[in-house]
Each structure stands twice: as C-alpha cells, then as structure tokens.
Amino acid sequence: MATPRSPGYPVLIIGAGRGGSALLEMFMEDNLVRVIAIADTNPDAPGIHLAKRLGIPTYTDPVEALQAGKGHPDCIVYNLSHDDSIADKASEIFGGQRVASGPEVKLFWQMVTNLKQVKSELEASQNQLQAIIYNAMDGIITINEAGEVQGFNPAAEHIFGYPQQDILGKNVNILMPDPTRSAHDGFIQRYIQTGQAKIMGVSGREVTAVRKNGEQFPMEVSISEMVLGGLRYFVGIVRDITERKLAEQKIAHLAHYDYLTDLPNRALFLSSLEHSMLLAKRNNYKTAVLFLDLDGFKQVNDTQGHDAGDLLLQFVAKRLKHVIRESDTVARVGGDEFTFVLNNAESNEGVALVANKIIAALSEPFDLKGQRCHIGGSIGIAICPDDAGNLDQLIRQADEAMYLAKQSGKNTHRFYSDVLQKQSGE
C-alpha cells in the first residue's frame, strides 16, 4: 500500500542493494525528498522489496528507470550500482543532468551513515533522559522566564493533583499560597534583572505549596537555571515532605510528652517551671509547685495487672487536666507521680482549693474494663518565692511536703511551711 508523501525533490536510485535500500529508507523519512523510482538488475534486492512495500515504482532495467524519470527534468540520480555507464545514459536522457555516483556517492553515504548514528545516539540519550524524568520519584517542574509551566512529570502530577495537560502553560504560582503567589512573578523578574535570588541554587529549601484541591503542604524544592536554544528556563526538583514533617513532630512530641498519658514529661515540666519562675519574678507574683503521689495505685497494679495500671494512669491524667486552668501545667514525672505548676498563685488558700479539687477528682471510682477501683492522692506544695527561688530546691520542698501529707493520713495536702512547722516542733 502506497505511503502518502508530501511533494519533495525528485530522486531516482539506481542500485537496490544494502546501500540503496538504506538510502531509500533514509529518504522516506525526509519530506524534502521524493523517491520516484528505484532500479536494480536483481529483482530480489532488498531495496526492491522495500520499495514495493512503500508503493514506489521498481525496475530491473536501470535504463528503463531513467526513461521513466524523464518527466522530472530536475531529478537527481543516485547511482549505487557498479555500472559506470549509468552516468552516460543519464546524461543522454536528462541532457547533461549531474549524476551522483562513484566516490561522490560513497562520501555522501558515509556522511549519511554518520548523521544517522549521531541521530540514533541523540534519540537514545533523549529517550533515556525522558525515562529518568518520567520515572523519577521527585517532582520535576520546568518553567520559562514568564513563569509558565513547560514540563510537569508524573511525580509532580501525583504531588499536586494536576494532570499534565491541565497545568502546562499555566503560571507556576498556581502551586503556591498567598502571599508567595502574588509576589512570585516579581521574584523571577528581579532575578533576571539583577541575578539576585533567595532560593536559586539552594538545595532542599523548605516552602509551603498548594495542591489542586486547595490543601497546603510542606515541600522541599531545589531550583536551577538552564539555557536551551538561547532561551532561559528554570527547573525545580520538588518533594512532598508531609510524612517527614509528621515524623519530626512525633519525635519532638515524644521527647517532651509522656508516651502513656500524653502529659508533659519531666523535661517539659522543668522547662515550664523555669519559665513560670522567671515570669513570677518579673511580674512580682507567686508560682506554686504541687507534687502528687497516688495513694493505692500499687495495689491496683499488683492485683489487676500492669495493663489495668496503665489504663488507670490514663484516666487519672484526663481528670487532672480538667481540674487545672489552661495556663497551668500538669506533668507525669514517673510511675504514679504527677507535678503541677500553678501560675500567678494569688494566695495559699487558692492553691489549697486547687489541691482539694485534685483530691476530690481522684476520689471518684474508676472503671477499669468492668472492674471498679478507688484510689486517692497525697499532695505536697511549695511556693515561689516564699519557700525558695531556686528550681531544684522548690521541687525538693514540694516532695518533702508530699511525704508529710502521706504521714498525715494520705488523701490530703500539705505546704512546705507545714514541714518547717513540724520540724520546729520536734
């Protein structure tokens, strides 16, 4: 079946061996050339079979082929046969028309072969590059100087939720939240004019991006510049770091919060107390430290098992959080020990009221998967700056007051001042 061809310069090929067949194949890829016929004395020559498949006239008599080409006076004859008389026959028929043959055809063939090899290598390189871009796990976005998206690989489609056909030609600022979106075009122009940029050439800069559905997410981006065909482009390698950020937040949370109750741990408690003591000194008010030790917890843990003990601690934590103000702190510092920081403690009576609320909250029975249990709490209290202005000393004083509460019958509270009074009485 004939292959439709655009009009091109007429060419006649004499010799349909390996060289003629390759020349025909090359010419069929170029719209500037139109092969009008091919001839070879061997009807089984590879070029003859190829020409028949392409619908190109074939001849076994080269002179007959030349006669058939008389209708194309501007025709170029490529003589790849070993018959040197072809040139004379062509001159007779075409009136002196130049025929490419001998060394000329050989040189031309070598040039064509080299060009085809270069083309093949370029295509292979381009295909390899496209495969890398297509299969890359990171998003690859290419924009021009106007900020318009020119390239958007599948990973970028997955990250942002835009199919490639919907994003090509659009301004890349569609992927950014305000105020970055509004300022982006100015960033590009300023870089083009001055060469100064905040993120150009910076590897792994963290920014905020926007998906098609409007969801904002943390993204890592590295941007580089390239010039292709005299035009400037910017290539961005982007990576969704949402999962990494969540993992970092989880690690940071675990470093400052108790894994079981999700209350602040000892480290965060000490940091909060230090901050509160500084504020108390600056603003001339008092800070109270409460040290709570549960009464009866060990019995629950020993008789009902550690799972029941852990569940009890979680229930206790929830009750304690509801007793104090949002501005105050409750922490689990180990085992069944809890500490509190009460900011701006106006009076000892007010602090005692909070302590009694804590004890009352603990006095209500707990349901541990169908098993009810009762516990209590002994609380020690130290006041800054009345008792101490030193963090470690204040905590030690609250601890001593807690032991006095236990010695006083448990399920009650005592101030450090009560410890001093007892010591002086002894």
Q: Are 152 and 167 in contact (CB under 8 A)?
A: yes
Rounded Cα gap, residues 38 and 276, in angstroms = 97
Comparing 114 with 417, which gets the higher pLDDT? 417
Q: What is the CATH number of domain 257-425?
A: 3.30.70.270
Residue 15 CA to residue 13 CA, distance in Å, equals 6
Distance from C-alpha of 233 to C-alpha of 106, rounded to nearest angstrom: 42
Give the pLDDT band of residue 102 (cuts 50, 70, 90).
low
What pLDDT, on the 0 to 100 scale, is given for residue 1? 41
pLDDT for 317: 96
Superfamily for the 9-114 domain: NAD(P)-binding Rossmann-like Domain (3.40.50.720)
Q: So what's the pLDDT on residue 2?
A: 44
Q: Are 219 and 239 in contact (CB under 8 A)?
A: yes
| Exposure class string for 147-160: b at 16+ Cβ within 10 A, else e | bebbbbbbbbbebb
- pLDDT of 311 strictly over 50: yes
For the chain, what percent of residues have pLDDT higher than 90? 49
Locate the domains of the chain by residue range.
Answer: 9-114, 136-244, 257-425
List pLDDT tens digits, range 109-144: 677 677 777 777 777 777 776 766 677 788 889 999
CB 313 within 8 A of CB 395: no
pLDDT at residue 388 is higher than 90:
no
Mean of all residue pLDDT scores within the chain: 86
State the first-to-last Cα distance of the chain, in angstroms, to the nearest integer: 119
Q: What percent of the chain is modeled with pLDDT above 70?
A: 92
Domains 9-114 and 257-425 share a fold: no
Distance CA 133, CA 127 (A): 10
Question: Looking at residues 380-397, what average pLDDT do you find?
Answer: 92
For residue 201, the model assigns a pLDDT of: 61
Q: What is the pLDDT of residues 190-241, one digit of tens each?
A: 777 776 666 666 677 899 999 999 999 999 998 888 888 888 888 889 999 9
CA-closest candidate to residue 211, choices 162, 147, 141, 138: 162
Res. 174 pLDDT band, cuts 50 70 90: very high
Q: Which of 110-119, 264-273, 361-370 is predicted with the least confidence, judged by mean pLDDT? A: 110-119
CATH number listed for the domain at residues 136-244: 3.30.450.20
Which of 386, 370, 378 is CA-nearest to residue 410?
A: 378
Picking from 82-91, 193-202, 251-260, which range would have the lowest pLDDT averaged per residue?
A: 193-202
Average pLDDT over every residue of 329-357: 93
What pLDDT does residue 3 have? Answer: 44
pLDDT in tens, 26-71: 888 778 888 999 999 999 999 999 999 999 999 999 889 888 888 8
Q: Give the residue-averaged pLDDT of 274-290.
A: 92
Range with lowest mean pLDDT among 94-98, 139-143, 331-335, 384-388: 94-98
